[in-house]
């Protein structure tokens, strides 16, 4: 049995990078994936302009060490990326004693499918999240 997920979508924000006390690099990204919106009969829903309406889901992606460094250095908001990894569920107790649950994707590979920043260069030509991506 295997736990493998493949997601293709746009980054909703620039990556957030940090290091742990043991110098493990951890970079997180928010990935938006879209699918056609459906009406109560299961048919694709069209908006007032006649375009297919989309529903977007957001996924928390965590990248470690070398992959995290590369993502932090080159990825930027709006980029189209493909992420291959595994689903990871967490359970913890918050400060008020309430049990909390979370889900994230631990990335094994991130492929850049559109241009990003070039080593901290100018990103003025970058697009915001593209709702027209057919994923």
Identify the helix (H) or strand (E) that includes residue 35.
strand 25-36
Q: What is the pLDDT of residue 119?
A: 54
In which region does residue 63 sit, left (phi positive, over 0), alpha (psi from -120 to 50) or beta (all else)? beta
Q: What is the pLDDT of residue 55?
A: 92
Mean local confidence (pLDDT), 93-117: 93
Distance, CA of 23 to CA of 108 (rounded, Å): 19
Residue 67 has pLDDT above 70, yes or no: yes
Reported pTM = 0.78
Domains, the chain, ordered by start: 5-112 (2.40.50.140)
Mean local confidence (pLDDT), 40-67: 92
Q: What is the pLDDT of residue 77?
A: 96
Which residue, 14, 9, 21, 11, is CA-closest to 135? 9
Which residue, 6, 46, 12, is CA-closest to 28? 12
Integer CA distances (angstroms), 109 to 29, 61, 134, in order: 13, 11, 21
Mean local confidence (pLDDT), 41-56: 88
């Amino acid at each position: 049995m295997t736990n493998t997920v493949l997601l293709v979508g746009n980054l909703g924000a620039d990556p957030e990078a940090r290091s742990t006390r043991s110098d493990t690099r951890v970079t997180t990204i928010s990935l938006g994936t879209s699918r056609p919106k459906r009406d109560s009969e299961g048919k694709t829903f069209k908006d007032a302009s006649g375009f297919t309406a989309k529903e977007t889901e957001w996924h928390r992606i965590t990248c470690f060490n070398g992959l995290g460094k590369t993502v932090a250095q080159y990825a930027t908001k709006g980029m189209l990326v493909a992420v291959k990894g595994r689903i990871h569920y967490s359970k913890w107790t918050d400060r008020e004693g309430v049990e909390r649950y979370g889900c994230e994707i631990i990335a094994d590979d991130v492929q850049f499918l559109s241009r990003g920043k070039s080593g901290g260069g100018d990103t003025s030509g970058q697009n915001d999240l593209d709702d027209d991506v057919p994923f």
